[in-house]
Amino acid sequence: MKATHRWTVALAGNPNSGKSTVFNNLTGSSQHVGNYPGVTVEKREGFAGSDNKEFRIVDLPGTYSLTAYSEDEVVARRFIVEEKPDVVANIIDASNLERNLYLTAQLLELEQPTVLVLNMIDVASGRGYSINNKALEEVFASPVVRTVGSRNQGTKEILAACAASAGQQHQSWRIDYGNLESAIEQLSHELTANGEGLRFPVRWLAIKLLENDEEILRLIRDLSAGQTIIHRAAKLRQELQTKNDEDPELTIADRRYQFVGKVLSRILTVQSDKNQTTSDKIDKVLTNRIFGLPIFFALMWLLFNLVFTLAEAPQSWLEDGAAALGTWVGAHMAEGDLRSLLVDGIIGGVGGVIVFLPQILLLFFGIALLEGSGYMARAAFIMDRVLRSVGLHGKSFIPMLLGFGCTVPAVMATRTLENPRDRLVTILVSPFMSCSARLPVYTVLISAFFSKESAGSVLFSIYVLGIVIAVLMARIFRSFLFKGAVEPFVMELPPYHLPTLRSVLIQMWERGVLYLRKAGTIILAVSVLIWFLTNYPSEVQYSKDYDTLITQSQTLFEEQAAKEIAPALQVENIEQHQDFMALLEKAQAIDEDFEKQTAELESDSPEFAAIELAKEEQFAALKAENEKLFSLAERYQELKATAEDEVAALEQEQAAEKLVASYAGRIGQAIEPLVKPLGFDWKISIGLFAGVAAKEVLVSTLGTIYSVGEADETSVALQEALVADPVFSPLVAYTLMVFVLLYSPCFAALAVIRRETNSWKWSLFTMVYTIVVAWVVSFLVYTIGGLLGF
């Protein structure tokens, strides 16, 4: 039988109450993630079915209360009142009832049908806690369900209780606030008379006015009698402050805790000989003042390697796949702008996005494991006392650490920071952690301008500089942009337990899909833009007739081959001599096999030498078969290689001229005056401009400008070209490395910053301020270095 109605169930609870695990148990893969409109708070929804009933499950942000101190709290209470779910399922950590029931009391004051879900009941039992369900149901006038989310126990019972409670009239329930009740009554009366259109419960609104809740004050101001009500509430708050010598907000909180205390004395029995839990014993080691930090660093090192070492192989597969697709498309399309757009712009752009996916998945797999096990809260506790001195929160360390591999997952990892201010500061300084994409730039410049003995020290200094600048900027942001004391580190340490594989995989997968859906589309658009800027205008007035010169070079090769090789073979056309063509194919196969085997080897390694020796032996064997043919084949290959080199040089020279004349080239020349004080010229400007898309692009861009073909960090030709350029020197090279370290994060990172902050404002701010910092620091390095004679 098909379900006739879909019930909306809102899951509400404290952080670390197991709410996400319960949500995943209820919805499985039938869920999606987004953001609530206008805020950065995550919105998770899913669907479930039981006994011919359908449920829409909404996972509200984890909160400790329903005040207006954070977006999470405001979003949670707005959803309950404005969306009016059929039932609220309050997920309660049964092993920590005092803290959790404080939220329960506030949820029930919103006058919605509520089911109390006592989760982690196994942990509570292990601590010697015995909870009286019947008494709890009587106190809160709501049904109670016992669950063990980590084992998927009680999931069906939650749905059954929600189905039974949905649509039921909320039973009258309230806390007695003692000498505040008269003021609550007065405000309730005025709100009843003048609060038409307000969807919040009247008594709850009256309490919030006494708490001086800013969001509620804004709502009341919109009423015709709003100012009168607000003035009346302010007067009552002042009277209560004078009478009780305490802020009414504190009095209300105290009354709630007193109520929770009375409830606990009625429903909870504790077996005293089980106070020392397994989690307590583990914490004696993991949070120890001496061993805590080393253990934490070891775990972070492991996570770091999982993300950036294990991702290497799948990243390579994705890169190869994108390259193969580009090659296939290029081979089946006529040369022109459309092919260039598809191959270089769209396929290249999508490939640049997908290549990050293994890192994203592994990152969130590791984070989900740490969060689900309960260790993440301990990690934040351990690092807090280290980072507090520079205005950062303990949880900031994990994103900053991951930034050494890639800024994209580093920014996404800031989701573990609940406080928006701490999260923003961490996002803003994470780009200064030197990501792996910058390493090719460092490698080229260090190899070209520094000795092998000093190379390691130079590279180390760049990484250290990034850390120093990040720390300084964090201090500046906290002192000026985000003023105020560092938020106190207050966090309950949840008990250790094994997370469910389903929860870990779902969290990992939903982050990966979200990344591809949101950041991927933005990066694709930007990649197409970069393609356009570097390829247009298409009509360029070249200094030479390159097409004619290329044709002449190819014709000259054919003429020389016909003059020198064909007569010796006694044929008119070289291709007519089958033995000669077979010899050429064998020689070519040997060369290709050699290139393939040595692609990942260092030229001075024993493995390279062994493969090179085997190649020479193969050629010697070919020569022994027919020395005359072999000599002719060598001469043919010499002529062909000379022609190919000439053509490649002409093509690269043409590409360089086209790049200079392109919109990107014009931009590089236009901004040259801005970077000239750093020792840079227009060629470096173009590289830096292209490097905004992805830092490693700077190397290939310089390779094009210097007409050395496809360049990477091992390109000797590019290194020689840089050394030959009078603009470059060791000081300019070091200054360029500093600038690359500090200036704007790549478009992938900027897109994710936009996604995580829900605003382009912070992406633009990050781009601008990092460029300013890069310029200032690079200017100091170049100027001081020059004064010191470097």
Give the residue-averaged pLDDT of 184-188: 91
pLDDT at 394: 73
Give the mean model confidence (pLDDT) for residues 389-406.
77
Are 632 and 674 within one domain?
Answer: no
* Mean pLDDT across 345-349: 65
Give the DSSP H or E segment for 553: helix 546-569
46-53: average pLDDT: 83
Co-location of 408 and 354 in the same domain: yes
Q: 């509400």: which residue's tokens?
A: 12
Looking at 215, 239, 274, the residue that finishes a domain is: 274
Residue 149 · residue 22 · CB < 8 Å: yes
Range with the poorest average pLDDT among 185-199, 382-396, 487-501, 565-579: 487-501
Q: Tell me, what amino acid is at 335? A: E
For residue 539, count other CB atoms closer than 10 A to its CB: 6
Note whether 614 and 561 are same-domain residues. yes
Of residues 736, 707, 712, the one with CA closest to residue 724: 707
Q: Is 62 annotated as ligand-binding?
A: yes
191 inside domain: yes
Instruction: Give the pLDDT score at 740.
Output: 95
Q: Is 558 a residue whose pLDDT tops 90? A: no
- 40 among the known binding-site residues? yes
What mean pLDDT comes out for the span 162-177? 82
Domain count, the chain: 5
Structural contact between residues 417 and 393, judged by C-beta atoms closer than 8 angstroms: yes
Per-residue pLDDT at 345 exceeds 50: yes
Q: Which is more confident, 485 or 11?
A: 11
Q: What's the rounded mean pLDDT across residues 548-562?
A: 89
Residue 539 is assigned to a structural domain of this protein: no
**CATH for 117:** 3.40.50.300
Q: State yes or no: 24 annotated in a binding site.
A: yes
In a domain, 540, yes or no: no
Q: What is the DSSP letter of 42?
A: E
Query: Which value, in Å, is the radius of gyration of the alpha carbons in the chain?
Result: 34
Q: Are residues 458 and 506 in the same domain?
A: yes
Among residues 65, 68, 90, 119, the alpha carbon closest in space to that of 10 is found at: 90
Residue 42 annotated in ligand binding: yes
Which amino acid belongs to residue 678? Answer: L
Is 261 domain-assigned? Answer: yes
Report the C-alpha gap between 607 and 188 in whole angstroms. 84
Residue 61 annotated in ligand binding: yes
The Cα angle at residue 703 between residues 698 and 708, in degrees rounded to 5: 170
Q: Find, among 340, 345, 348, the residue nearest to 324 by Cα.
A: 348
Q: How far apart are CA 408 and CA 512, in angstroms?
A: 12
User: 428 and 357, same structural domain?
Assistant: yes
What does the pLDDT read at residue 658?
83
Q: Taking the CA atoms of 556, 559, 562 and 565 in sequence, report the sign of the dihedral they define.
A: negative
Residue 129 clears pLDDT 80, i.e. is over it: yes
Res. 736: pLDDT tops 50: yes
Q: What does the alpha-carbon distance between residue 508 and residue 367 come to, in Å, rounded to a whole number?
A: 9
User: Can you give the pLDDT at residue 694?
Assistant: 76
Same domain for 591 and 677? no
Whether pLDDT at 526 is above 80: no
3-class DSSP state of 633: helix
User: What's the mean pLDDT in 531-548?
Assistant: 83
Residues 95, 144, single domain; the answer is yes
Q: Is the pLDDT score of 449 beyond 80? A: yes
Report whether pLDDT(403) > 50. yes
pLDDT mean over 17-36: 78
Q: How far is CA 103 from CA 98, 107, 457, in A?
A: 9, 6, 54
The annotation status of 350 as a binding-site residue, yes or no, is no
Q: Which residue has the higher pLDDT, 359 or 772?
A: 772
Instruction: Write b or e for each residue in 433-453: b if 16 or more Cβ atoms lie within 10 A of its Cβ, otherwise e.
Output: bbbebbebbbbbbbbbbbeee
In a domain, 565, yes or no: yes
Show contacts of 518-524: CB within 8 Å, 24+ apart: 518/751, 518/755, 519/353, 519/408, 519/748, 519/751, 519/752, 519/755, 520/350, 520/353, 520/354, 522/747, 522/751, 522/754, 523/349, 523/352, 523/353, 523/747, 523/748, 523/751, 524/346, 524/349, 524/350, 524/353
Dihedral (CA of 125, 18, 64, 293) sign: positive
Answer yes or no: is 29 a known binding residue. no
In this structure, what token pair is assigned to residue 289? 């003042």
Assess whether pLDDT exceeds 90 at residue 784.
yes
Q: Give the pLDDT band (50/70/90) at residue 527.
A: low
Measured in whole angstroms, the distance separating CA 317 from the mean position of its chain's CA atoms is 21
Residue 10 has pLDDT above 80, yes or no: yes
715 is in an annotated binding site: no
Which of 34 and 234 is assigned the larger pLDDT? 234
Highest mean pLDDT among 67-71, 183-187, 690-694: 183-187
pLDDT category of residue 352 using cuts at 50, 70 and 90: low
Strand, coil or helix: 696: coil
* Same domain assignment for residues 356 and 427: yes
Nearest to 439 by CA among 458, 413, 454: 458
**Higher-confidence residue: 782 or 373?**
782
pLDDT of 376 over the 90 cut: no
Domain boundary among 141, 165, 189: 165
Residue 315 has pLDDT above 80, yes or no: no
> What mean pLDDT, rounded, does the chain reach?
83
> What average pLDDT does the segment 470-495 reach?
74
Residue 289 near residue 303 (C-beta atoms within 8 A): no
* Residue 59 marked ligand-binding: yes
* 229 labeled binding residue: no
Sign of CA dihedral 460, 461, 463, 464: positive
Residue after which a domain boundary falls, among 495, 530, 565? 530
- Please check the confidence at residue 37 and state whether its pLDDT lies above 60: no
Is position 374 annotated in a ligand binding site?
Answer: no
**212: domain CATH number?**
1.10.287.1770
CA gap 641, 482 in Å, rounded: 62
Residue 709 located in a structural domain = yes
366-to-73, 306, 756 alpha-carbon distances in Å: 27, 8, 19
The whole-angstrom separation of Cα 586 and Cα 166 is 78
Give CA–CA dist 697/29, Å, rounded: 38
Residue 641 lies in a domain: yes
pLDDT for the residue 696: 73
Residues 6+ apart with CB under 8 A from 148: 119, 120, 121, 122, 154
Collect contacts of 66-70 with beta carbons under 8 A, ≥24 apart.
66/103, 66/106, 66/107, 66/110, 67/211, 67/213, 68/213, 68/214, 68/215, 68/216, 70/418, 70/419, 70/420
- Rounded Cα gap, residues 58 and 36, in angstroms: 12
Lowest mean per-residue pLDDT among 416-430, 452-466, 698-712: 698-712
The Cα–Cα gap between 263 and 529 comes to 63
Report the pLDDT averaged over residues 297-318.
74
Query: 39 a known binding residue?
Result: yes
The pLDDT tens digits of the residues spanning 252-284 come to 999 999 999 999 999 999 876 555 667 777 878
Residues 482 and 617 in one domain: no
169 pLDDT exceeds 50?
A: yes
Residue 2 banded pLDDT, cuts 50, 70, 90: very low
HEC readout, 265-283: HHHEEECHHHCCCHHHHHH
- Span 671-696, mean pLDDT? 87
19 in a known ligand binding site = yes
Look at residue 741 and tell me if it is in a domain.
yes
Q: How many CA atoms lie within 13 A of 154 on its CB side?
A: 25
Q: Which residue has the higher pLDDT, 127 or 157?
A: 157
Distance of CA 689 to the CA centre of its chain: 23
With helix as H, strand as E and coil as C, how does 221-246 read?
A: HCCCCHHHHHHHHHHHHHHHHHHHCC
- 120 has binding-site annotation: yes
Domain hosting residue 269, numbered range: 178-274
For residue 121, say whether it is annotated as part of any ligand binding site. Answer: yes
Q: Is 20 annotated as belonging to a binding site?
A: yes
Q: How many CB atoms lie within 10 A of CB 518?
A: 17
pLDDT of res. 1:
39
Compute the distance between CA of residue 736 and CA of residue 462 in angstroms, rounded to an integer. Answer: 11
* Bridge partners of residue 6, in order along the sequence: 54
Reported as a pLDDT band with limits 50, 70 and 90, residue 521 is low
The answer on 759 and 707 residing in a single domain is yes
Predicted confidence (pLDDT) at residue 520 exceeds the cutoff of 70: no
**Residues 646 and 666 occupy one common structural domain:** no
Closest by CA to 668, choosing from 650, 652, 690, is 690
Give the closest residue to 601 by CA, choosing from 712, 699, 714, 711. 714
Task: Name the residue among 396, 393, 462, 475 with its Cα closest to residue 432.
Answer: 462
Q: State whether 252 and 320 are in the same domain.
A: no
Cβ contacts of residue 350 below 8 Å, gap of 6+? Answer: 322, 520, 524, 527
The whole-number pLDDT of residue 507 equals 74
Enumerate residues 6+ apart whose C-beta is below 8 A from 701: 659, 686, 687, 690, 691
689 has pLDDT over 90 = no
Give whole-number Cα distances, 8 to 15, 54, 57, 74, 79, in Å: 22, 9, 6, 19, 11
Residue 753 pLDDT greater than 60, yes or no? yes
Find the mean pLDDT for residues 505-510: 77
Residue whose C-alpha is closest to residue 41's, from 79, 7, 10, 8: 79
**Picking from 16-20, 184-188, 486-490, which range would have the lowest pLDDT averaged per residue?**
486-490
Per-residue pLDDT, averaged over 666-693, amounts to 88
